[in-house]
Amino acid sequence: MSLLTRRARTLAAVAAAVGGVLAGIAPASASPPAPEDTGQGRLVWSPCGDPATPTLQCAMLDVPLDYAHPGGTTIKIKVNRLPATAPMSKRQGPILLNPGGPGDSGLWMPASLSGKIPQDVASTYDWIGFDPRGTNASEPHVTCDAHFFDAERPDYRVGKGTSKAWLEKSARYAADCAASWSRLLPHMTTVDNARDMDSIRRALGVRKINFYGGSWGTSLGSTYGQLFPSHVRRMVLDSVVGPDISWYDHNILQDKEHQRRFDAFAAWTARADSVYHLGTDAATVKRKYDQVEDALRTAPADAAPAPGKIGPAEFEDTFYGGGYNFLRWPRMATVLSAYLTRNDTRPLRIAYNSYAAPGADDGTFPAYNAVQCAENNWPRDWEFWKKDQARVDAVAPFYTYNNMWYNAACMFWPYQGDRAGRLKITGKGLPPVLLFQATEDAPTPYPGAVAMHKALPGSRLVVQNGGGFHEILFRGDACLDDTFTAYLRDGSLPTGKGTVARTCAPPPEPAPVYVTPDPAAMTTRSALPPTDPQAVRGMR
pLDDT of 504 over the 90 cut? yes
Whether 28 maps to a domain, the answer reads: no
Residue 361, pLDDT score: 95
The answer to whether residue 341 sits within a structural domain is yes
- Helices 329-342 and 282-298: crossing angle, nearest 10°? 60
Residues 282 and 158 in one domain: yes
% of the chain with per-residue pLDDT over 90: 86
**pLDDT the model gives residue 33:** 40
User: What does the pLDDT look like over 22-69, one tens digit per residue?
Assistant: 333 333 333 334 434 444 589 999 999 999 999 999 999 999 999 999
Residue 148 has pLDDT above 80, yes or no: yes
pLDDT score, position 522: 52
pLDDT of amino acid 519: 60
Catalytic one of 123, 138, 199, 215: 215
3-state secondary structure of 174: helix
Q: How many domains does the chain have?
A: 2
Cβ-count burial of 323 within 10 angstroms (0-12 exposed, 13-18 middle, 19+ buried)?
A: buried
- The amino acid sitting at 390 is A
> Per-residue pLDDT tens for 61-114?
999 999 999 999 999 999 999 999 999 999 999 999 999 999 999 999 999 999
- Give the mean model confidence (pLDDT) for residues 199-221: 98
Same domain, 196 and 292: no
Q: What is the pLDDT of residue 444?
A: 98
Maximum C-alpha span of the chain: 67
Q: Are residues 231 and 260 in the same domain?
A: no
- Residues 82 and 56 sit within 8 Å (Cβ to Cβ): yes
What share of the chain in percent tops pLDDT 70? Answer: 87
pTM of the model: 0.91
Give me the pLDDT at residue 540, please.
41
Q: Tens digits of per-residue pLDDT, 204-213?
A: 999 999 999 9
Q: Are residues 413 and 517 in the same domain?
A: yes
Q: Are residues 277 and 344 part of one domain?
A: yes
Q: Which domain covers residue 228, as residue numbers?
A: 46-141+186-244+427-504
Q: 465 and 486: one domain?
A: yes
Active site residue 215: yes
pLDDT computed for residue 41 by the predictor: 84
Residues 332 and 360 in one domain: yes
Residue 16 or residue 344, greater confidence: 344
Catalytic hit among 441, 453, 459, 481: 441
CATH number at residue 137: 3.40.50.1820
Could you tell me if residue 524 is inside a domain?
A: yes
Residue 16 is assigned to a structural domain of this protein: no
Q: Are 219 and 351 in the same domain?
A: no
* Burial readout 385-424 (b: 16 or more C-beta within 10 A, e: otherwise): beeebeebbeebbbbbbbbbbbbbbbbbbbbbbbbbbbbe
Lowest mean pLDDT across 15-19, 129-133, 233-237: 15-19
Of 187, 258, 453, 470, the active-site residue reads 470
Mean pLDDT to the nearest integer, 396-401: 98
Q: What is the model's pLDDT at position 529? A: 37
pLDDT digits (tens, 9 = 90+) for 169-197: 999 999 999 999 999 999 999 999 999 99
Q: For residue 77, is it within any domain?
A: yes
User: Exposed, middle or buried by CB within 10 Å (0-12, 13-18, 19+), for 383?
Assistant: exposed
Task: Tell how strand 94-98 and strand 74-82 pair up.
Answer: unpaired
pLDDT for 417: 64
The verdict on residue 253 lying in a domain is: yes
Is 323 in the same domain as 405? yes
Whether residue 261 is found in the same domain as residue 326: yes
Pairing of strands 46-47, 74-82: unpaired
Say yes or no: 84 and 205 in one domain: yes
Given a contact cutoff of 8 angstroms between Cβ atoms, the answer to whether 191 and 420 are in contact is yes
Alpha carbon distance 135, 137 (integer Å) = 6
pLDDT value, residue 20: 44
Q: How much is the pLDDT for 39?
A: 45
**Which residues, other chains included, contact 43 with Cβ-Cβ below 8 Å and sequence gap of 6+?**
59, 61, 79, 200, 203, 204
Please tell me the predicted confidence (pLDDT) of residue 373: 95
Judge contact between 59 and 44, C-beta under 8 A. Answer: yes
**pLDDT number for residue 310:** 98
Question: 529: cis peptide before it, omega within 30°?
Answer: no
Residue 21 lies in a domain: no
Does the residue 29 lie in any domain?
A: no
Mean pLDDT (the chain, rounded): 90
316 to 19, 52, 423, 494, 526: CA distances (angstroms): 29, 36, 34, 40, 18
Q: How confident is the model at residue 220 (pLDDT cuts 50, 70, 90)?
A: very high
> By C-alpha distance, which of 519, 474, 481, 526 is closest to 502?
481
Question: Considering only CA atoms, which of 141, 137, 136, 117 is closest in space to residue 127?
Answer: 117
Is pLDDT larger for residue 34 or for residue 154?
154
Whether 441 and 389 map to the same domain: the answer is: no
The predicted pLDDT at position 12 comes to: 45
